[in-house]
Chain A
Amino acid sequence: GEDVEQSLFLSVREGDSSVINCTYTDSSSTYLYWYKQEPGAGLQLLTYIFSNMDMKQDQRLTVLLNKKDKHLSLRIADTQTGDSAIYFCAESMTGNQFYFGTGTSLTVIP
């Protein structure tokens, strides 16, 4: 698999914005994803971006892609306590094989 790295922990106050970062090594990655995992549950797709895009916005979520630096970020606006979870970025070249990052545990402080 390819290397996909994330910082392990992030704490924010309720109402603030959260920014979760991810770096990857495979320059041929075609699709980049953000997944959310709540305790004891499977992974839930939040959003994805094609490698030919720089930005994608979906309600409170904004994804930024810097392909030159192989850096992906997820911004959550107006973070709520229900956003507390582990967030995984993942990359895929083919759309069939996915490689996940180590996950960032987001804690939202009321």
Chain B
Amino acid sequence: DAMVIQNPRYQVTQFGKPVTLSCSQTLNHNVMYWYQQKSSQAPKLLFHYYDKDFNNEADTPDNFQSRRPNTSFCFLDIRSPGLGDAAMYLCATSRGKLGGNEQFFGPGTRLTVL
């Protein structure tokens, strides 16, 4: 049973061409996260939504934006992708209540920038 779905699994874009990655969840969780993971590195939190409240990490570049139109969907928009933005992008969800929240991760979208 798919719980956190990311589409597409592989995305190729051109340098400077806007790209949108999508994530959906069937868990009805309050919180949705976007992480960037480069090769052999830790997943880096970009931002998260707690319901409709957007929380940006201080070091997330302005080039990265996010939208959450409803509980189930969350989008990552990269306005002008650079070569350094090539990475795996992971979406995750959690219930959002204090108490050792488990995060459920999607399989990721691997972004290639040409």
Contacts and interface: CB of A to CB of B under 8 A. Distances in A.
Interface string B89-114: 01010101111111111111000000
B100 A42 contact: no
A4 B105 CA distance: 20
A55 B82 CA distance: 44
Contacts of B31: 96
Nearest to B96: A96
B101 A96 contact: yes
**A contact face: mostly helix, strand, loop, or mixed:** loop
Contacts of B94: 95-96
Contacts, number: 66
B100 A1 contact: no
A30 B99 CA distance: 9
B50 interface: yes
Chain B interface SS verdict (over half)? loop
Interface stretch (B13-21, B41-49, B64-72): B41-49
B33 to A, nearest CB: 8
B55 interface: yes
Nearest to A100: B42
A99 B45 contact: yes
Interface of B: 4, 31, 33, 35, 40-45, 48, 50, 55, 57, 59, 90, 92, 94, 96-108
Sorted nearest first, the 4 A-B pairs with minimum C-beta distance are: A42-B105, A100-B42, A43-B105, A95-B101
15 contacts: A31-B101, A40-B107, A42-B92, A42-B106, A42-B108, A45-B102, A48-B102, A88-B43, A95-B94, A95-B97, A95-B101, A96-B50, A98-B103, A99-B45, A102-B40
Interface of A: 1, 4, 8, 31, 40-45, 48, 50, 88, 92, 94-103
